[in-house]
Amino acid sequence: MADVAIEDGRTKILYGVENALSYGKKFMDNAKVKMDITYDHHGPSIVIKIPLYYEGYKDILKRGGKIRCITEINKDNKDYCKELLNIVSELRHLDGLKGGIAINESEYMATTVLKEEQPLTEVIYSNAKEVVSQNQYIFDTFWNNAIPAIKKIKEIEEGVEIEFVEVIDDALKARDIYFNILTSTRKELLLFIPSSIIPLIKNENKFFSVIKSLCKNDSIQINLLSNSKAEIDILSKQINKTIVSNESTSSNIKIRAFEKKEEEEEFKSLETIVIAIVDKKISIVIDLKSNNMNSFTNSIAFSIYSNNKTIVSSYIYIFESLWKYINLFLQFKDINKKLKFQEIDLEKKLELKTHHLLKVNENLIKLNNEFKDKENTFKKTNEELLRIDRSKNEFISMISHELRTPLVPIKAYTEMLLKESSFGSINEKQKKALKSIYRNIKKQETLVEDILDCTKLEMGQFSLIKKDVSISDLFSNVVNDCKSMIGEKQISIITELNTKTINKIYCDEKRVEQVLLNLIKNSFDFVPQKDGKIMLMAELEQKEEEELNIVFEKDKNHIIKNIKNDSYIKFTIKDNGPGIPLDKIGNLFKKFYQMDTSATRKHTGTGLGLVICKGIVEAHGGRIWIDKNTFSTGVCIKFTIPIN
Maximum average pLDDT range among 53-57, 194-198, 585-589: 53-57
| Listed range (180-184, 214-218, 472-476) with the worst mean pLDDT | 214-218
Residue 45 confidence (pLDDT): 92
Verify that 493 and 632 share a domain, yes or no. Answer: yes
Tell whether the model's pLDDT for residue 295 goes beyond 70. yes
Residue partners of 522: CB distance under 8 A and separation at least 6: 609, 610, 635
For residue 512, tell me if it sits in a domain: yes
Backbone angles phi, psi at 217, to 5 degrees: -100, 110
Residue 510 in any domain: the answer is: yes
Same domain, 492 and 608: yes
Segment 27-31 shows an average pLDDT of 93
Quick check: 618 and 560 in contact, CB under 8 A? no
Q: Mean pLDDT of all residues in the chain?
A: 81
3-state secondary structure 495-523: EEEECCCCCEEEECHHHHHHHHHHHHHHH
Whether residue 170 is contained in a domain is answered as yes
pLDDT (0 to 100) of residue 641: 94
Rounded Cα distance between 414 and 437, Å, is: 8
Is residue 61 packed enough to be buried (19+ CB in 10 Å), middle (13-18) or exposed (0-12)? middle
pLDDT per residue as tens digits for the range 266-284: 667 778 899 999 999 999 9
- Specify whether 126 is located in the same domain as 176: no
Distance of CA 416 to the CA centre of its chain: 18
Calpha distance 307→311 (Å, rounded): 8
Q: Tell whether the model's pLDDT for residue 121 goes beyond 70.
A: no
How much is the pLDDT for 33?
A: 94
In a domain, residue 54? The reply is: yes
Instruction: In whole angstroms, give the CA distance from residue 238 to residue 233.
Output: 9
Residue 237 and residue 383 share a domain:
no
Same domain for 344 and 282, yes or no, is: no
Same structural domain, 618 and 489: yes
| Among 153, 152, 110, 117, CA closest to 132 | 110
pLDDT value of position 206: 86
Please give the C-alpha separations between residue 368 and each of 343, 350, 371, 378, 457, in angstroms, as whole numbers: 16, 11, 5, 15, 41
| CATH number of the domain residue 560 falls in | 3.30.565.10
CA atoms of 282 and 185, how far apart (whole Å): 10
User: Which domain-ending residue is among 155, 190, 209?
Assistant: 155
Instruction: Note the pLDDT tens digit of each residue in 219-232.
Output: 899 998 888 777 77
pLDDT higher than threshold 70 for residue 250: no
- CATH, residue 274: 3.30.870
Same domain? For 149 and 174 the reply is no
Q: What is the pLDDT confidence band of residue 204, given thresholds at 50, 70 and 90? A: confident
Q: Are residues 136 and 188 in the same domain?
A: no
Which range, of 396-410, 504-518, 524-538, averages the lowest pLDDT? 396-410
Tell me the per-residue pLDDT of 557-612, one tens digit each, with 9 for 90 and over.
Answer: 444 333 344 789 999 999 888 877 777 777 777 776 665 555 444 555 566 788 88
> Are residue 18 and residue 83 in the same domain, yes or no?
yes
128 and 16 in a common domain:
yes
CB within 8 Å of 376: residues ≥ 6 apart: none
Task: Return the CATH number at 104.
Answer: 3.30.870.10
Cβ-contact 13, 5 below 8 angstroms: yes
pLDDT at 467 over 80: yes
Mean pLDDT computed over 95-124? 78
Per-residue pLDDT at 157 exceeds 60: yes
What CA–CA distance (Å, rounded) separates 520 from 479?
Answer: 9
Supply the DSSP string of 94-154, one letter for each residue.
Answer: -TT--SEEEE-SS-EEEES---TT---SEEEEE--HHHHHHHHHHHHHHHHH-EEHHHHHH
φ, ψ (nearest 5 deg) of residue 533: -135, 135
Establish if 504 belongs to a structural domain: yes
Question: Do residues 204 and 142 both lie within one domain?
Answer: no
From the centroid of its chain, how far is CA 58?
49
- Is the pLDDT at 178 greater than 50, yes or no? yes
The residue among 459 and 61 whose pLDDT is bigger is: 61
Per-residue model confidence (pLDDT) at position 571: 94
* pLDDT for 516 beyond 90: yes
Query: Domain for residue 501, yes or no?
Result: yes
Span 3-23, pLDDT tens digits: 333 344 477 887 777 777 888
160 or 131, higher pLDDT? 131
Phi (first) and psi of residue 32, to 5 degrees: -90, -40
Is 14 exposed, middle or buried, given 0-12, 13-18 or 19+ CB atoms closer than 10 A? buried
The reported pLDDT for the residue numbered 283 is 94
Query: How many angstroms separate the CA atoms of 427 and 56, rounded?
Result: 46
Q: Are both 105 and 31 inside the same structural domain?
A: yes
Determine the Cα–Cα distance for residues 308 and 306; give it in Å rounded to an integer.
5
Asked which of 94-108, 326-340, 389-403 is least confident by mean pLDDT, the reply is: 389-403
The most confident of 377-381, 509-513, 551-555, by mean pLDDT: 509-513
H/E stretch holding 217 reads none
Q: Lowest mean pLDDT: which of 368-382, 441-455, 471-485? A: 441-455
Q: Is residue 440 part of a domain?
A: no
pLDDT in tens, 346-368: 888 888 877 766 777 777 888 88
Range of the domain at 587: 467-642
pLDDT of residue 552: 41
Residue where one domain finishes, among candidates 307, 334, 352: 307
- Bridge partner list, 536: 495, 573
At 445-461, the pLDDT tens digits run: 777 777 777 777 777 77
Please state, for a pLDDT cut of 70, what percent of the chain lies above it: 84
The pLDDT value recorded for residue 246 is 45
- Please tell me the total count of domains within the chain: 4
pTM (global) more than 0.85: no
Residue 455 lies in a domain: no
Q: Does the pLDDT of residue 108 top 90, yes or no?
A: yes
